[in-house]
Structure 1
Amino acid sequence: MSNGSLYTHIQNNIATVEFFHPASNSFPSELLARLAAEFKELSSNPEVHIIVLKSEKEKAFCAGASFDELVAISNFEEGKQFFLGFANVLNAMRNCSKIIIGRVQGKAVGGGVGIAAACDYCFATEQAAIKLSELTIGIGPFVIEPAVTRKIGIASFSELALDATSWKTAYWAKEKGLFASVFNSINEMDTEVENLALKLSTYNAEALVALKKTFWEGTEDWDILLNKRAEISGNLVLSEATKKALQKFKK
């Protein structure tokens, strides 16, 4: 369980992908690689028309990347590869031919916000507050910025990125376009997730694939862009300011 878990269940042309990690559903590199590979595999599976992405338990949706791995980075190549973890997931979601519905039951931080933004349609509960805290440890949300800005706009992304210690409510995120609907309870949300997934799964699969391509027009440069963003973060994580911030945060 140290590297977390990832399970996929397929029924009625709906693939439900569920991830878990005991540290608030954060992502070590191995789990990120597995998630990216899973999206690629489901993209070419003719039995799958719709994907639902969720995390286990009732609290945090995703606390971002593994803090332990972040602290252990000792050189540029390690840093770049670490930040490419989320870049590869975002690109796999972007390139996936299937519509992805996000189910956000709790708080999302950093990369977790990026994953929610990369979903094509996203439901949340009132507990799904969001935060981009990267500046507080000396780096920045460079890799996930294109996905988040694409959903909520540069002004709202700037507010999130600069006010790095504050949580924004699920209703703020809905107002900005990150979430389509916000519910009082997980049960209410799950009912609507199931209803939408079932309806979409009955529609013309070719139309859904074509619509997915339309949603993501203009992002064809992301393979190169996110690689460059990972390099920026890979350099910053080695700076003295970041090392001091990480050690302080660790304590």
Structure 2
Amino acid sequence: MTQPYVKQTIENEVAYIEFFHPAHNSLPGDLLAELADTITAAGKNDAIKVLVLKSGGERTFCAGASFKELININDESTGKVFFSGFANVINAMRKCPKFIIGRIQGKTVGGGVGLASATDYCMASKFAAIKLSELNIGIGPFVVGPAIERKMGLSAMSQIAIDANTFYPADWAKDKGLFTQVYESTDELDAEVKATAEHLCTYNPEAMVEMKKVFWSGTDDWDDLLAERAAISGRLVLSEFTKEKLKGFK
């Protein structure tokens, strides 16, 4: 696989939404927009009862934002638009009236941790270590922070945000509430994701809609909140500190 994509397949009333990018499944703006639109459309599709969010490849679930695009930001408005990409996906997941299962097969960084946190039920392999690396380049996990804090608590979120060099193992993430289960292999993970998703399809759809509202209560301000957070990152990415750090990635 060499070409980036977002694709959806429907099997037994389950929509498997998969994204891929050859750069460790990092997500540029166009893929983020397509991912948000795909999730929104699936939420409105009566043929779908449950969603599964997954990525292609075996080694990395998501390496976060696209550094190629990050390096090319030259003004605050462009920066805000760039960082709004993950905000739009998280808000699409939040507003989707159907349960979203996360299938995390490998390492996930930055915005990828935010996507995992925005799923309603997140399952992982033992290879799914997580890291928030944003402070290393002079910004912070501002946009994804609310989703991570909601799922793992402020203490865990602040720990991995401050310790920006460290990958925390999947079992740690499970202990903090991000992952529901951690499996020994990707094959075992896939079998359990499929079984869980198809079992959820036997539940009353109306009950799941109402439970989803309960799960996400108190987040009605996130359209504005995440936009404000995107503006903070868009400003910080133009700082001399961050520009010097990003030179090393060119």
Q: TM-score, normalised by structure 1?
A: 0.98
Residue type at the aligned position of 1:135 = L
Distance 1:202 1:155 in 2: 36
The equivalent of 1:202 in structure 2 is 202
Q: Deviations over 1:161-201 (max 9, x none)?
A: 00000110000000000000001100111111011101101
Distance 2:3 2:73 in 1: 17
Distance 1:2 1:197 in 2: 29
Residue type at the aligned position of 2:233 = S
The equivalent of 1:59 in structure 2 is 59
The equivalent of 1:43 in structure 2 is 43
Q: Deviations over 1:212-245 (max 9, x none)?
A: 1111000000000000000000000001011001
The 3-state SS of whatever aligns with 1:54 is strand
The equivalent of 1:245 in structure 2 is 245
Residues 1:127 and 2:117 aligned together: no
Distance 1:62 1:144 in 2: 13
The equivalent of 2:191 in structure 1 is 191
Gaps of 5+ in 1: none
The 3-state SS of whatever aligns with 1:81 is helix
Distance 1:74 1:163 in 2: 28
The equivalent of 2:179 in structure 1 is 179
Distance 1:97 1:42 in 2: 9
Does the 8 Å CA contact 1:3/1:30 hold for their aligned counterparts?
A: no
After the TM superposition, which parts of structure 1 deviate over 4 Å for at least 4 consecutive aligned residues? none
Distance 1:137 1:247 in 2: 10
The equivalent of 1:4 in structure 2 is 4
The equivalent of 1:33 in structure 2 is 33
Gaps of 5+ in 2: none
1:2 and 1:75, CA in 2 relative to 1: closer, same or farther beyond 3 A? farther
- Equivalences, count: 250
Does the 8 Å CA contact 1:3/1:31 hold for their aligned counterparts?
A: no
1:3 and 1:214, CA in 2 relative to 1: closer, same or farther beyond 3 A? farther
1:202 deviation in Å?
1.4
Distance 1:231 1:32 in 2: 17
Distance 1:166 1:47 in 2: 42
Residue type at the aligned position of 1:246 = L
The equivalent of 1:68 in structure 2 is 68
1:159 deviation in Å?
0.3
The equivalent of 1:218 in structure 2 is 218
Distance 2:194 2:11 in 1: 12
1:158 deviation in Å?
0.5
The equivalent of 2:18 in structure 1 is 18
Question: 1:145-156 residue pairs with structure 2 within 5 A?
Answer: 145-156=145-156
Residue type at the aligned position of 2:43 = S
What is the alpha-carbon root mean square deviation over aligned residues? 1.0
Distance 2:217 2:2 in 1: 37
The equivalent of 2:89 in structure 1 is 89
Distance 1:48 1:213 in 2: 18
1:3 deviation in Å?
6.9
Question: 1:108-127 residue pairs with structure 2 within 5 A?
Answer: 108-127=108-127
The 3-state SS of whatever aligns with 2:60 is coil
Distance 1:178 1:115 in 2: 11
Does the 8 Å CA contact 1:3/1:28 hold for their aligned counterparts?
A: no
Distance 1:20 1:212 in 2: 27
1:116 deviation in Å?
0.2
Q: Which moved more, 1:6-15 or 1:144-153?
A: 6-15
Distance 2:3 2:33 in 1: 11
Residue type at the aligned position of 1:139 = I
1:114 deviation in Å?
0.2
Residue type at the aligned position of 1:157 = M
Distance 1:244 1:90 in 2: 30
Q: Deviations over 1:1-43 (max 9, x none)?
A: 8871011011211100011000001101000000000111111
